[in-house]
A and B are shown apart, each in its own frame.
Chain A
């Protein structure tokens, strides 16, 4: 066992085995800092399982269970039900899963929990592929990206997870990014408050130097570039209907500026690039339209 000379002040240990520059690591530290120790966490197999630990070591100071790839929401719902039955409804239940565990194999159990109104916070950190099993494509992998199962670039666009979640009309859902920590923190605070009423959901962009092929020092910079190119939009969905764009991008940069530093887009051809740009413009226009339809138009963060 390691002798810990300088214990962490937070709920996540130092020296976890994520890669250098891991976006997920930044995210979990912020999330648990806000959620606090009165929280039980559910983690599926994925890179987030690096926080479950190995053997008799864990990285977390809170109780947790590692479930299966497709049932993070279901186990969280069970934990929540058990706690409520015992009059311990004040304890937060948090699921933390990747894009594969959420948008693909876990979508059914997530939808079940959202529809039932289970009072859990579900966080999907999105590194846009199955990283833990060696960079295979997921339904959240963006168009044109190389993965080991899209060796010539992904030919189709990604799934719109926020729209799917929004269709359930839950009290609070938001997209966030590790490039905008203050915005992320505020959203975790809101989500934590929302689970008194029902499910809350956060979709966090979490760049992955290992899977995307870029210099680990650039993680935060790249996350910001994703937002300023409108490749990743920051917004909230309140009660499934009210849309708040929390980071308006007025001087938009071309998508290429975000894609070029990443090896996974090396092989992208001009036609695909044009399709990617068209999709980005359509998505943002739609988002602005929805935000306009909702009465509130503040731009926090």
Chain B
């Protein structure tokens, strides 16, 4: 296994190449564009034996992937932000047809206003479309989680498409030394793709995706739900198998210094690195804090997550998006429901951080930890590291 300097986008493209995707359809969008570009380069110069379909939109990118995967080919596409929003209709189709498409999503804010930069609103808005969602902390994660995703998603008991989410720019454009496995090792880990259940095949004709009466629709949705129920153990196994094959361990949640923690911040993606750095600094001062990173947001590892929180610990969630009109951000809402579903009575403080490319700076993390350690709780979600002029910014209305 060689170590190569790779940006997150290229780590994703390497994983797709190693997975031998046979049809590529991708539409460029900042900060995902390098994936669309490098995959066309790979197919052009023969490093990847695939058909590259230069599509005119993300809606078509996903439609092409769905059509091709139905014929029994592993396909590849990737997107970001408004591109993911434009794909929305087709996300549900891929999921409902049980096509285990693996798609890197380079997280970027949604409009309006325009932002080119990172937050999780795009993938969070798509969280109920029936896709698994794995969040990478660094560029190695991007490559590893993509390979793990193919293995888990294509399992016959799962058949659920998967987004591998990486923070725009923070990961997509950050160079890091990444272990790139050999083709042989990846071939051993990922058998050639085979269409299971639904397929378009002249030798075995079937009509796929027609209108379904109310007497059958719920049952078919339940099959999908069952695929998701199976996904968590299968994902765990795939991660173990990955470790055996490649020597790096992954897990649906990753607790850091949680065992004896009095205050824990739950996070997703690249900001987890900063939270862990702050945990080290607090620990050096004798303050018992910890970080709980969620890698798999869908399926949500409810039991493991709750088990990782010691009794009596105060818990906050750093959301990099907001569920407007809901009590808190989407991750916090899910953590609260997991806690109550597991029969615990713990108040979880919601925080919103790092929207539209804002760094999750130490000041945001310390203010969150300090609130928790001081036993402060506010039922309202707290927006951290905001300017004082929040309510006067761009307010051009005449004063009455």
Contact = CB atoms under 8 A, between A and B. Distances in A.
B57 A78 contact: no
A86 B72 contact: yes
B23 A78 contact: yes
A103 interface: no
Contact of B63 (A78, A84, A115): A78
A86 B71 contact: yes
Interface of A: 37-38, 40, 42, 49, 52-55, 58, 60-68, 70-71, 74-86, 88, 91, 108-109, 111-112, 115-116, 118
A83 B195 CA distance: 13
Contacts of A86: 22, 71-73
A109 B60 contact: yes
Given A76-B67, A78-B66, A71 B90 contact: yes
A74 B23 contact: no
B210 A74 contact: no
Contacts of B65: 78
Contacts of A74: 55, 59-60, 63-64, 67
A52 B59 CA distance: 22
A78 B53 CA distance: 8
B23 A65 contact: no
Contact of B206 (A63, A76, A83, A111): A63
Interface in B51-94: 51, 53-57, 59-60, 63-73, 75, 89-90, 93
Interface residue range, chain B: 35 or more
A65 B67 contact: yes
Given A63-B201, A86-B22, A86-B71, 18 more contacts: A49-B211, A54-B210, A55-B213, A63-B200, A63-B208, A65-B208, A66-B209, A68-B93, A74-B64, A75-B67, A77-B60, A78-B65, A79-B68, A81-B25, A82-B69, A83-B71, A108-B56, A108-B57
Given A71-B90, A82-B67, A65 B209 contact: yes
A112 B56 contact: yes
Instruction: Identify which of A62, A81, A84, A118 gathers the most chain B CB atoms within 10 Å of its CB.
Output: A81
A109 B64 CA distance: 10
B397 to A, nearest CB: 37
Nearest to B22: A85
A52 B66 contact: no
B67 A42 contact: yes
| Binding site secondary structure of chain A | mixed
A82 B216 contact: no
Nearest to B93: A68
Instruction: Identify which of B25, B64, B206 gathers the most chain A CB atoms within 10 Å of its CB.
Output: B64
A108 B60 CA distance: 9
Interface in B205-233: 205-213, 215-216
B1 interface: no
A79 B70 contact: yes
B202 interface: yes
B103 interface: no
A53 B57 CA distance: 29
| Binding site secondary structure of chain B | mixed
Contacts of A116: 53-54
A40 B72 contact: no
Q: What are the 8 A-B residue pairs with the smallest beta carbon separation, nearest first? A: A78-B67, A82-B71, A112-B56, A82-B68, A78-B64, A74-B63, A58-B207, A52-B210
A173 B73 CA distance: 30
B90 to A, nearest CB: 7
Contacts of B202: 37-38, 40, 62-63, 88, 91
Contacts of A91: 202
A130 B208 CA distance: 23
B89 A68 contact: yes
Contacts of B54: 116
B60 A112 contact: yes
A85 B63 contact: no
A71 B66 CA distance: 11
Contacts of B73: 81-82, 85-86
Instruction: Identify which of A42, A84, A85, A108 gathers the most chain B CB atoms within 10 Å of its CB.
Output: A85
Instruction: Identify which of B25, B56, B213 gathers the most chain A CB atoms within 10 Å of its CB.
Output: B56
Nearest to B53: A81
A49 B56 contact: no
Nearest to B97: A65
A117 to B, nearest CB: 11
Contacts of A63: 200-202, 204-208
Nearest to B69: A82
A66 B208 contact: yes
B205 A81 contact: no
Contacts of B216: 55
B67 A79 contact: yes
A1 to B, nearest CB: 13
Contacts of B207: 52-53, 58, 60, 63-66
Contacts of A83: 71
A77 B50 CA distance: 14
Nearest to A69: B89
Given A78-B23, A83-B71, A112 B205 contact: no
A111 B54 CA distance: 12
Interface in B160-215: 200-202, 204-213, 215
A116 B60 CA distance: 13
A71 B60 contact: yes
Given A37-B202, A54-B210, A86-B73, A81 B51 contact: yes
B44 to A, nearest CB: 15
30 contacts: A40-B202, A52-B210, A53-B207, A55-B213, A60-B205, A61-B205, A63-B201, A66-B209, A67-B63, A68-B93, A71-B59, A71-B60, A74-B60, A75-B64, A75-B67, A77-B64, A81-B25, A81-B51, A81-B73, A82-B69, A82-B70, A82-B71, A82-B73, A85-B51, A86-B22, A86-B72, A86-B73, A88-B202, A109-B56, A112-B60
